[in-house]
Structure 1
Amino acid sequence: MTITQLKYVLAVAEHQNFTKAAQKTFVTQPTLSMQIQKLEEELDILIFDRSKKPIELTSVGKKIVSQARNIVNESERMKDVVDQEKGFIGGDFHLGIIPTIMPTLLPMFLKNFTKKYPKVHLKIEELTTDEIISKINEGHLDAAVAATPLEIPTIKERPLYYEPFVGYIPLSHRLANKKKIDGKDLDLDDILLLEDGHCFRDGVLNLCKASKLNPDDTFQLESGSFETLIKLSNEGLGMTLLPYLHTLDLSEKQEKNLRYFNEPSPAREVSIIYSASELKMQIINAMYDVIAGVVRGAIAFQDVKIISPVK
């Protein structure tokens, strides 16, 4: 049994196709098939049911894949141990960031990080929280930046900062005359929301739920971006809520429509999250230090109330 054979098994389990798995692992399909067959013969079991389309794991195959993932992770930890012993911070690192954080946070830390750690080869991907969770558990992401707490046993969370919600309220809105707002002021009938799949949307729904308003009302409009929500709000179609860092890029005219919450301000917890197996911790710790250091100067809020991103 070899680590390479186990990696081939994991690839086929993920893609449910021998040809695709071979392409992803950069070997020929006959080579991959032969190595998996040799492993099956050694164990005297069938890992895959090849009669199904797409290919499926057998009942024992599911257990083999779970164990194979642990073994492959532990084998990669050896390199981590050596790198940490040498003080080396470098190599490939795959980072996921959720869409409502990517546009504001990435420009703040990326240049600093790449300058400080030039030997780290970053691959950054914009992903939803559900996609991030799956990719971390499957070993395809080394870490991610997402709204927390998620409370998933296989994933560790390390809070980076707490980002308040801010109201964007046009002059024509019923709350325009308020200097500050409360959760109880919110009414989902006139709040413009991000479309389903964004955890910031779920945070807004949870905030309204905490204010004892009905979170199941039909919304007037939904969109995939804060920019669109702001434009719709400017057209008098309702108010919206923005994450604080997003408000830093608004024009002077748009800033006049901002309304902050009375303390404690509702806020989202933003964390760097990673597998409980703690691979590549030297890079994760370096990234944490850079991001936390940059954001600390931008967010001065202390008295906040964390709103869960979980539905």
Structure 2
Amino acid sequence: MTITQLQYVLAVAKYQNFTLAAEKSFVTQPTLSMQVQKLEDELDIQIFDRSKKPISITEVGKKIVEQAKNIVNEADRIKDIVDQEKGFIGGEYVLGIIPTIMPTLLPMFLKAFISKFPKVNLVIKEQNTDTLIRNLQDGQIDAAIAATPLEIEFIKEKPLYYEPFVGYIPKQHRLANIEKLTPQDLDIDDVLLLQDGHCFRDGVINLCKSPKNNVVDHFRLQSGSFETLINLSNEGLGMTLLPFLNTLELDSKKKENLKHFEAPSPAREVSLIYHKKELKIQITNALHDVITSVVRGAIAFQDVKIISPVNNK
């Protein structure tokens, strides 16, 4: 049994296809298939049921896959220890980012990071929070940027910044003449929300102190776009709330519709989250330092109140 064989098993389990698993593992399909078969022969069991399409994992195979994940992760840990000892910051690093953060934050730090750490092969994936959590647990990503606190046992959270909520209120709205907003001014029935599944949506619902199961959409909006919410607000369909960084690139006419909250301003905590095993922690720390340095100048708000992104039950 070798680490390579276990890596091939994990690839087949992930893609449920030998050809695709070989492609992602950068080997030929016959080579990968032969090594998986060799491991099955050695163990005298069948890990995969090849008679089904897509390939399925046998019951004993599922147990082997789970153990293989632990063994491969621990093998990676040895290499990680050596890299840290040598002060090496490089190699592949897979970073997940939630959709409500990706468009504004990524352009702010990406160029600076790749310029400072050219040996890091940064792979960036846009995924919602639930997917990021699963992928962190499975080792498919190294870290993620998400709204916190999540308070999940196997995840460590390293705050990057605190981003205030800003109201977008068109001229014809009932709150248009208010100088500063308060949470008490908000009516959840009047607030346009992102589609279900976005943690920013849940944060807004929590801010309005409305149980999620009591929120009734007057029309079903399947959109993760703040620009769509702004356009609907301009059409007189309500108001919306935006993360502060999303307001920076608005044109001057749209900025006239922005309303800030009285202090302490409701805000979301944005953190770099990673597995407690701390694999590739030297890259994680480098990423944290770069992001905090570039965002510090953009967000000057200090007096904030963190709104939890966790759904109301």
| TM-score under structure 2 length normalisation | 0.92
**2:104 pairs with 1:104:** yes
Kept in 1: contact 2:202–2:212 (CA 8 A): no
| Whole-Å separation in 2 of the counterparts to 1:195 and 1:211 | 16
| Whole-Å separation in 2 of the counterparts to 1:308 and 1:34 | 50
C-alpha spacing 1:37/1:213, structure 2 compared with 1 (3 Å): closer
User: Deviating runs (4+, > 4 A) in structure 1?
Assistant: 211-214
Shift in Å at residue 254 of structure 1?
1.8
Give the equivalent residue in structure 2 for 1:216.
215
| Whole-Å separation in 1 of the counterparts to 2:197 and 2:255 | 27
| Whole-Å separation in 2 of the counterparts to 1:97 and 1:122 | 12
Q: For 2:125, what is the secondary structure of its paired residue? A: strand
| Whole-Å separation in 2 of the counterparts to 1:215 and 1:109 | 38
Give the equivalent residue in structure 2 for 1:11.
11
Shift in Å at residue 212 of structure 1?
7.1
| Whole-Å separation in 1 of the counterparts to 2:153 and 2:108 | 30
Kept in 2: contact 1:104–1:245 (CA 8 A): yes
Query: Aligned pair count?
Result: 310
Matches within 5 A, 1:41-190: 41-190=41-190
C-alpha spacing 1:213/1:80, structure 2 compared with 1 (3 Å): closer
Kept in 2: contact 1:192–1:219 (CA 8 A): no
Residue range with higher mean Cα deviation, 280-289 or 103-112: 103-112
Deviations 1:86-133 (A, max 9, x none): 111112222121111111111211121122112212222222222322
Kept in 1: contact 2:188–2:210 (CA 8 A): no
Shift in Å at residue 275 of structure 1?
2.2
| Whole-Å separation in 2 of the counterparts to 1:295 and 1:66 | 39
Kept in 2: contact 1:13–1:57 (CA 8 A): yes
Deviations 1:17-61 (A, max 9, x none): 222222221223332222122222222332223344332222222
Deviations 1:152-184 (A, max 9, x none): 333222111111111100110011111112222
| Whole-Å separation in 2 of the counterparts to 1:211 and 1:217 | 11
Give the equivalent residue in structure 1 for 2:201.
201
1:154 alignment partner AA: F
| Whole-Å separation in 2 of the counterparts to 1:216 and 1:53 | 41
Give the equivalent residue in structure 1 for 2:277.
277
1:133 alignment partner AA: I
| Whole-Å separation in 2 of the counterparts to 1:53 and 1:111 | 43
Kept in 2: contact 1:169–1:176 (CA 8 A): yes
The CA RMSD over aligned residues, in Å, is: 1.9
Shift in Å at residue 225 of structure 1?
0.9
1:186 alignment partner AA: L
C-alpha spacing 1:215/1:167, structure 2 compared with 1 (3 Å): farther
Kept in 1: contact 2:160–2:271 (CA 8 A): yes
Gaps in structure 1 of 5+ consecutive residues: none
| Whole-Å separation in 2 of the counterparts to 1:93 and 1:154 | 19
Matches within 5 A, 1:288-299: 288-299=288-299
2:175 alignment partner AA: L
Give the equivalent residue in structure 1 for 2:242.
242
| Whole-Å separation in 1 of the counterparts to 2:126 and 2:19 | 27
Kept in 1: contact 2:169–2:257 (CA 8 A): yes
Deviations 1:175-208 (A, max 9, x none): 1111112222212222111122322112112222
Kept in 1: contact 2:267–2:306 (CA 8 A): yes
Gaps in structure 2 of 5+ consecutive residues: none
| TM-score under structure 1 length normalisation | 0.92
Kept in 2: contact 1:161–1:295 (CA 8 A): yes
C-alpha spacing 1:91/1:178, structure 2 compared with 1 (3 Å): same
Give the equivalent residue in structure 2 for 1:2.
2
Kept in 1: contact 2:148–2:309 (CA 8 A): yes
**2:290 pairs with 1:304:** no
Q: For 2:192, what is the secondary structure of its paired residue? A: strand
Kept in 2: contact 1:93–1:120 (CA 8 A): yes
C-alpha spacing 1:88/1:5, structure 2 compared with 1 (3 Å): same
Shift in Å at residue 213 of structure 1?
9.3
